[in-house]
Amino acid sequence: MAGGLVVRRREARTVAALVDAVAAPRPPLPPVAETDAVASFATWIALAPQPNRALLHAALGGLALARLGRRDRAGRLALLRRLGGSPLAEGLRATAAVSYYGDAGVLRALGHGPQERGRAPFLQRRARTVPDPELA
């Protein structure tokens, strides 16, 4: 795999702060540190084409220089809002969200784990609204 799964320590702290700002987890959702969100984000970077990898590393470096990881959640969100709706900002936001919400523990907490499948309220509603083809 080109580039490998490498994020520097400073980038990892910035990614964790970015994911926390975007996902804003509260119980029963696990905190970012208890998920694989940073590793998932690193995988996205590693699998990106080289120009995109370079841009992502530069963006994370810029956010680190802006001390994203040292701000409280409100300060992080304010900084991210200043980036506007640029494709880079939206890409960072979307990758952070997917990295967090794709974690197995987060999915279980949201009722998407295999053992919770039959108990998820949205699935029960859907099951009642889908007609049975044999009855039609």
> How many Å apart are CA 81 and CA 90, to the nearest integer?
10
Report the pLDDT value the prediction gives residue 84, as an integer from 0 to 100.
84
Task: Report which of residues 129 and 102 the model is more confident about.
Answer: 102
Q: Which amino acid is at 3?
A: G
Instruction: Compute how many other C-beta atoms are within 10 angstroms of the C-beta atom of residue 92.
Output: 22
C-beta separation of 35 from 105 below 8 A? yes
- Residue 126, pLDDT score: 47
Instruction: Give the Cα separation of 40 and 44 in Å (integer).
Output: 6
Domain definitions of the chain by residue range: 9-102
pTM attached to this predicted model: 0.77
Q: How many CA atoms lie within 13 A of 31 on its CB side?
A: 4
pLDDT for 5-53, tens place per residue? 677 889 999 999 999 999 999 999 999 999 999 999 999 999 999 999 9
